[in-house]
Structure 1
Amino acid sequence: MTLTVLFAASDANWAEYAAPLRAALDEAGLSARLTRDADPAEVDFIVYTPSSPAQDFAPFTRCKAVLSLWAGVERIVGNPTLTQPLCRMVDPGLTEGMVEWVVGHALRHHLGMDRHIVNPGRVWDPVCPPLARERPIAMLGMGELGTACARALSALNFPVTGWSRSPKTVDGIPCLHGSAGLDQALSQAQIVVTLLPKTPETENTLNVRTLALLPDGAVILNPGRGALIDDEALLAALDAGKVGHATLDVFRMEPLPQDHPFWAHPRVTVTPHIAADTRAYSASRVIAGNIRRAVAGEALLHLVDRGRGY
């Protein structure tokens, strides 16, 4: 039987994914028609991004799964018409990119690179940074991405403490959970990395109260979700010197409005949501692999828990 796979995403996504996804489906041994237009009653799988015009999933009565090209699913998980299984994207290429961004910016702040890279006054400033083992890091979020970043930083001898809302066990990384665990992790962290999903429970995880727990001059790296941080509380903490610098890749509104205070703040670095991106060649293999599993009657990978929102 030939499967019908509906590609419900933008024109730009189609131009990027059509060839590698067809190749991945062939490589997986699947007889499949990849299309952007099909009778909903004949669709077996949907490859999806929130930019798609497909927002009503009720007509897709034969669909076995909706396979997101995005790691974040907050814009679809609450759709009341979505009764099909939903799988988020866990792409090896995306994970590698996130690890590189987090490690790069952690090292930038740990080593104090800005003093020497931007030195218009030609100041001889022989300040020796501490060793990595003397620079505690809190990793907020110990999912696929947080765990990969925690392990990479730990391999460089940073003492990394993981935190998540529910208990997690990761070899070699001490993990805390719950509100008391969050307070403990933040109170000792000189660098904080936020890689939590966006849910009602995680919004404003870093706020007036929790930012006050940080050691003076702590650095925040946010490649996770803009809503994890209370913007006004962060700006106040930066102005007061409680937070030494914030490197932010994600924002509540994107692109970040030109009049937003983050652009002009001397202790803020804005990067344009580039910490990690889905790579078409590797993501296509993830999609094809999950379709093959479904056809074979195997459990889907990266299945979203609707109750938890990710």
Structure 2
Amino acid sequence: MRVAVYLPAEDKTQWWVDMLQGLLPGWDVVSLDAAADPETVDFAVVWRPRTGDLARFRNLRAIVSIGAGIDHVLADSELPSDVPIIRTVGADLTQRMREYVALHVLRHHRDMPRQLLAQAQNDWHAIVVPVAPNRTVGVMGLGNLGAAAATTLAQLGFATRGWSKSEKTIDGVTCFAGQGGFDTFLDGCDILVNLLPLTDQTRGLLNASLFRKLPKGACVINCARGPHLVEDDLVAALDSGQIKQATLDVFHIEPLPTDHPFWSHPAVTVTPHVASQIDAATGGRLIANNLMTFAKTGTCDDVADAERGY
């Protein structure tokens, strides 16, 4: 079996080539650009492939996304439509997202940005907030990561609700589904967490119309994909006070340009796409196991639904 690997940074590509080669004894692992005979490549392991990169491998059996999302693969306008795409998911990614969401929901709940400002001003300022059961937190997207995050928030005591395209049932979480339940879900959400997959239907969903449906002074956390957010609408909502604070882990352009206004906005916390960033060693083991399973059976548990986008 031959595997071609591509990441935007050449040194990272070679690191992954070497690492996967050690995990796949008897296989041939090469960088995508070094695959001299495209006809012999069985699998491609990629992050943000370039347009046309994958179309030249005419015998490709599957494409592996180095990450849970597949939108970066589907963005290739020349992508072969009949090749399965395998997501990289697992307990490690889920745990990391649980930690990130809990951390930043608690930060907003306890108004830590304001507390840190008081410290910077030598201001002994007691900030008293409602207890968690009196704070409503909404999670948009109830897939593996969203359901785990919502469960964690409910276990912390928050009045937790979730919204998804199709109906879900999660212990301790009030679930809403479809367009008919969306506005009801948003109404009263003090803190909104976005964990939706990026699709044509969800692109730009975090916009001025949505922000107006939240209570004045609500907080927003986006740890899904940058294009979910209409950036100018968020800045306007923050400046008007409709949105009190925002935590953003994902952006339209990454790395976030150094002159971007989010860096200096007093109500925005920026993190560099680390909410559920898997460590490479764990990711490599997950990918190797999926590749070996797929090679033997023609499928694996983490094959995505390309039509749905996740």
TM-score w.r.t. the length of structure 2 is: 0.89
Amino acid of the structure 2 residue aligned with 1:274: V
Q: Answer yes or no: is 1:44 the counterpart of 2:37.
A: no
Q: Among residues 2, 5, 8, which one is paired with 1:7 in the alignment?
A: 5
**Whole-angstrom distance in 2 between the partners of 1:93 and 1:188:** 32
In structure 1, the partner of 2:266 is 266
Whether the aligned pair in 1 keeps the contact of 2:5 and 2:16 (CA below 8 Å) is: no
User: CA, structure 1 residues 52+12, in 2 after alignment: closer, same or farther (shift >3 Å)?
Assistant: farther
In structure 2, the partner of 1:55 is 53
Q: Secondary structure at the match of 2:71?
A: coil
Q: Secondary structure at the match of 1:162?
A: strand
**Whole-angstrom distance in 1 between the partners of 2:94 and 2:23:** 19
Matches within 5 A, 1:21-32: 21-26=20-25, 31-32=26-27
User: CA, structure 1 residues 175+23, in 2 after alignment: closer, same or farther (shift >3 Å)?
Assistant: farther
How far apart are 1:202 and its partner, in Å? 0.2
Moved more, 299-308 or 72-81: 72-81
Structure 2 residues not aligned, in runs of 5+: none
Matches within 5 A, 1:277-288: 277-288=277-288
Matches within 5 A, 1:1-310: 3-9=1-7, 10-26=9-25, 31-36=26-31, 37-38=34-35, 39-51=37-49, 55-61=53-59, 63-77=60-74, 79-82=77-80, 83-118=82-117, 119-297=119-297, 299-310=299-310
Q: Secondary structure at the match of 1:75?
A: helix
Q: Secondary structure at the match of 2:24?
A: helix
Q: Deviations over 1:147-203 (max 9, x none)?
A: 221122122111211111222333432221122322112112111011111111001
Moved more, 219-228 or 82-91: 82-91
Q: Deviations over 1:239-294 (max 9, x none)?
A: 12111101111111223233433233221122222222132111112112212222
**Whole-angstrom distance in 1 between the partners of 2:116 and 2:14:** 39
**Whole-angstrom distance in 1 between the partners of 2:105 and 2:44:** 38
**Whole-angstrom distance in 1 between the partners of 2:24 and 2:57:** 24
**Whole-angstrom distance in 1 between the partners of 2:61 and 2:278:** 23
User: CA, structure 1 residues 12+94, in 2 after alignment: closer, same or farther (shift >3 Å)?
Assistant: farther
**Whole-angstrom distance in 2 between the partners of 1:76 and 1:127:** 45
User: CA, structure 1 residues 22+173, in 2 after alignment: closer, same or farther (shift >3 Å)?
Assistant: farther
Amino acid of the structure 2 residue aligned with 1:34: V
**Whole-angstrom distance in 2 between the partners of 1:107 and 1:40:** 50
Whether the aligned pair in 1 keeps the contact of 2:162 and 2:175 (CA below 8 Å) is: yes
Q: Secondary structure at the match of 1:300?
A: coil
TM-score w.r.t. the length of structure 1 is: 0.89
Whether the aligned pair in 2 keeps the contact of 1:91 and 1:278 (CA below 8 Å) is: no
Whether the aligned pair in 2 keeps the contact of 1:91 and 1:282 (CA below 8 Å) is: no
**Whole-angstrom distance in 2 between the partners of 1:6 and 1:49:** 12
Amino acid of the structure 2 residue aligned with 1:103: A
Q: Deviations over 1:86-141 (max 9, x none)?
A: 11221433332222221111111111223333323332322322211111111011
Q: Secondary structure at the match of 1:94?
A: helix
**Whole-angstrom distance in 2 between the partners of 1:15 and 1:229:** 33
**Whole-angstrom distance in 1 between the partners of 2:175 and 2:232:** 29
How far apart are 1:216 and its partner, in Å? 1.5
**Whole-angstrom distance in 2 between the partners of 1:59 and 1:15:** 20
Q: Deviations over 1:217-257 (max 9, x none)?
A: 11101111112122222122111211110111111122323
Q: Secondary structure at the match of 1:5?
A: strand
**Whole-angstrom distance in 2 between the partners of 1:237 and 1:14:** 40
Aligned-residue sequence identity (percent) comes to 36
Whether the aligned pair in 1 keeps the contact of 2:151 and 2:170 (CA below 8 Å) is: no
Q: CA RMSD, aligned part only?
A: 2.2
**Whole-angstrom distance in 2 between the partners of 1:23 and 1:169:** 41
User: CA, structure 1 residues 301+54, in 2 after alignment: closer, same or farther (shift >3 Å)?
Assistant: farther
Q: Secondary structure at the match of 2:120?
A: coil
Q: Secondary structure at the match of 2:274?
A: coil
**Whole-angstrom distance in 2 between the partners of 1:129 and 1:196:** 28
The alignment of Structure 1 onto Structure 2 pairs a total of residues equal to 303
